[in-house]
Structure 1
């Protein structure tokens, strides 16, 4: 299969030498099967050829160890070749796993493993928390146990006192960068300390020694864009290319429905109710499905994309990546990158993060300014509590001035 990409005999001989020489034809066939462009596959094969030669000179065993992979990647000078090398090596690992040693996994110390397993079981089955929430709590527990192992190596959890907790919290807060992370850090610490008491590992109420970290949810205005800027960005998208058709539909759906990043990535073809002009949003953050209206302009753009520009693959996800291999978007950064790129191309200067949530905030702000009922805005955005939607009232300056009381002894 290497002949599909290279034709000179000397180049083919070089590619078939080295630590991966016997697998290069299989790897080349893999790149062709998953749909990589000809030029992209040649770049990856060339990177693998250099790595294969490097591994042949460095390997001490029949299999390629992870430290050889790391040393080769670090030998490359800039970020772009490093990313291409890691991607190519990961493909080679999938095709020929027997040629690579299994990478070592970083695990907790043996004496902490059962405790963390019991804590995770408590979070899932007693507290009933979602897997994503459990991840954050478990990460915090590992940090707590690491600090305890360093500072109290000869003492068990039963010897933990309020003084120790204060030192622990001081260390954890030093790792936090803002009010939000500090608030979650102290909350996670209290949860773990309550578990220690619940499990009978410490008979003191240590959670009360963890200070409360204020996090004023309504202290800041949400980032937002003028509606005219969003409309100008959508109108500026070139729809002569399939990616332009997709991006226009994507931005219109985000800007008119307020879907979250994960919700737009998980959207499937059967979730679009064309006849009633609605979109069914499943697996939301609030753990309940909701239905949002599909406006005419967004529906027309979405239909154009599905009928004429969407790749024909088995996946039912609506929005797909055009970068080979064609597949659904897996990571939030992919959607954010599209939104940010389109906004910047239209000349909008962005000072902070820009993604699906920026369009979501902009839609909510626009609806509030149009004097739409706040509960209606909350239902559209999928908020479980009206307090979550209340932050958008702060940007409704005309409405606030209408209800403001006159200052005693003077006029507004």
Structure 2
């Protein structure tokens, strides 16, 4: 397979030498299968071959230890080439994991690792949290343990006292600047302390002493865009390139259905019912599948994307990345970048919140402004409680004015 990228015999001989020489053809096939451009694949293969020769002088045919990898990366004087080398080695590890000795962090390196692993398992199996939610709670637990080890070195977690817990909470709150971050900080500590009691790691339920911080859910208006701005940004997308066709379909689907970033990434081709004009949405935040209506314009944009622009790869997912490796979006960042890019191109001034959720807020605000029933808006957005949707009623100023009580004494 290397011959697809390189033709000179001397180059092929050099590529097939070193510690990973026997794996280079598999790596070439790996890049070809992922849809990498020819020039990009050659760069990656050259980087791997350079490491292969370096490792060959140190370990020969033996498996490559992490120390060899670290020594190689230290040969790069600046961060930019080092990052490229790390990316190339990541492909080598995935294709030939048997050629590497993976160093597992010891308990001496991270004494909290076993406890945090049990905490993560508790969050998944007992609390039923999704991976993204677990990340935040785990980080809160690790920060709490870091504080304990810094202020009370050598003390076992079983000796934790209420006074120490309150001191840790006070420290975390001093670093928080918003009501939301303060509420999250105390909630994460409370969850971790409940786990300690549940797992028998502490004889008291110290979670009960963690104070609750005041947070008024409806105290702020949701970030949103005027519907004319959303419409203008969508119309400004040129449907002449595959990327433009895809991006227009993405924004139309987000803006007309209000689905979340993760829900959009999880849509499969078979989830679209073209006859009824509906999209089946799976993996929702509330862990309940739902159906959203597919407007005629949005359906036409999706059909145009599937027929003319979608990469011809074997993937069940609807939206795919055009940059190698070609495949579904693995995280929220690419979709958020698409939204920000297209809104800016449409002349929309963006604040701190600019992503799929901004379009979701904008749609909900638009529907409430059109006097659509609040339960209908809640069903479309997939809210379990109508109280969640009540946030958008605050932005319907004209409707609120109609129910406002007259000022005592009349007009001055």
The TM tier, using the shorter chain, reads 0.7 to 0.9
| Partner Cα distance (1:68, 1:22) in 2 | 18
Moved more, 347-356 or 134-143: 134-143
Judge conservation of contact 2:320–2:326 (CA < 8 Å) in 1: yes
User: What is the Cα deviation at residue 296 of structure 1?
Assistant: 0.8
TM-align CA RMSD: 3.1
Distance in 2 (CA, whole Å) between partners of 1:314 and 1:32 is 14
CA distance in 1, matches of 2:359, 2:284: 17
- Residue 398 of structure 2 corresponds to 398
Report the counterpart of residue 87 of structure 2 in structure 1.
87
Give the superposition deviation at 1:107.
Answer: 5.7
In structure 1, distance between residues paired with 2:46 and 2:222:
47
Query: Counterpart in 2 of 1:238?
Result: 238
**CA 1:225–1:88 in 2, change beyond 3 Å: closer, same or farther?**
same
> How many pairs are equivalent?
411
- Pairwise CA distance, 1:383: 0.8
Q: Which moved more, 1:195-204 or 1:374-383?
A: 195-204
Aligned equivalents of 2:106, 2:353: Cα separation in 1:
32
CA contact (8 A) 2:249 2:301 kept: yes
Contiguous gaps of at least 5 residues in structure 1: none
* Residue pair 2:47, 2:85 contacting (<8 A) in 1 also: yes
Please give the secondary structure, in 2, of the residue aligned with 1:327.
coil
Structure 1 residue 279: deviation in Å? 1.4
Distance 1:401 1:110 in 2: 58
* Superposed displacement of residue 140, structure 1: 3.2
Shift of the 119–98 alpha-carbon distance from structure 1 to 2, 3 Å rule, reads closer
Query: Partner of 1:77 in structure 2?
Result: 78
Change (3 A) 1:10 1:336: same
State the partner residue of 2:191: 191
8 Å Cα contact 2:19-2:61 kept in structure 1: no
CA distance in structure 2 between the partners assigned to 1:17 and 1:121 by the alignment? 44
Is 1:292 paired with 2:319?
Answer: no
Deviation at 1:115, TM superposition (A): 5.3
Residue 309 (structure 1) aligned with residue 278 (structure 2): no
Q: What pairs up with 1:172-321 in 2 under 5 angstroms?
A: 172-174=172-174, 176=176, 178-198=178-198, 201-321=201-321
Query: How far is the alpha carbon of 1:323 from its aligned partner?
Result: 2.0
Change (3 A) 1:330 1:147: same
Q: For residue 291 of structure 2, give the secondary structure of its aligned residue in structure 1.
A: strand
Q: Could you say which residue in structure 2 is the equivalent of 1:170?
A: 170
Q: Structure 1 375/83 Cα, relative in aligned 2: closer, same or farther at 3 Å?
A: farther
Quick check: 2:19–2:60 contact (8 Å CA) kept in 1? no
* Residues 154-194 of structure 1, C-alpha deviations (whole Å, 9 max, x = no match): 55445332211112223433554543232122112223323
Q: Scaled by the length of structure 2, what TM-score is found?
A: 0.87
Higher mean C-alpha displacement, 374-383 vs 204-213:
204-213
Structure 2 portions without partners, runs of 5+: none
The change in CA–CA distance for 1:182 and 1:68 in structure 2 (over 3 A counts) is farther
- Shift of residue 301, structure 1, vs aligned partner: 0.9
Q: Does the alignment pair 1:96 with 2:107?
A: no
> Partners of 2:260 and 2:287 in 1: how far apart?
13
- The 3-state SS of whatever aligns with 1:6 is coil
Q: Does 1:333 pair with 2:348?
A: no
TM normalised by structure 1 equals 0.87
Post-superposition Cα deviations, 1:269-326, rounded to whole Å, max 9, x if no partner, equal: 2221211111121221112122211111001111222233223333221111222332
**CA–CA separation in structure 1 for the residues paired with 2:162 and 2:93:** 49
Distance 1:108 1:293 in 2: 55
Matched residue, 1:29? 29
Q: 30-39 or 362-371: which moved more? A: 30-39
Match of 1:323 in 2: 323
- 1:320 is paired with a residue of what secondary structure? coil
Partner in structure 2 of residue 380 of structure 1: 380
Question: d(CA) in 2 for partners of 1:96 and 1:131?
Answer: 27
1:143 deviation in Å? 3.6
SS for the counterpart of 2:264 is helix
- Conserved 8 A contact 2:18-2:60: no
